[in-house]
Amino acid sequence: MSTPELHWFKSSYSSSNEPGDCVEVATTPALVYVRDSKTSGAARLTVTPAAWTDFLEGTVVTS
């Protein structure tokens, strides 16, 4: 089974003009991939879309 080409994006809350401290996400129908933007070649977290949705629903964003 081949790995699909992933299209990474970062949160709209992240600064767009600095690499900074942020995570990047790539989605496929079967999996959601999460990585650290500063070490994009390092290990990444892989979860199901349902688990990612649960995580996001449990996350509180404050400004």
Please give the structure tokens belonging to residue 37: 């933007």
pLDDT tens digits for 16-57? 666 567 889 999 999 999 998 888 788 899 999 999 999 988
pLDDT at position 26: 95
Which tops the pLDDT comparison, 43 or 62?
Answer: 43
pLDDT at position 56: 87
pLDDT at position 6: 93
User: What total of structural domains would you count in the chain?
Assistant: 1
Range of the domain at 7: 1-11+19-63
Strand 32-36 relative to strand 9-10, pairing: unpaired
For residue 4, what are the contacts with CB-CB under 8 A and spacing of at least 6? 28
For the entire predicted model, the pTM comes to 0.74
Question: Which residue stretches of the chain are H helix?
Answer: 49-57
Alpha-carbon span 15 to 25, nearest angstrom: 15
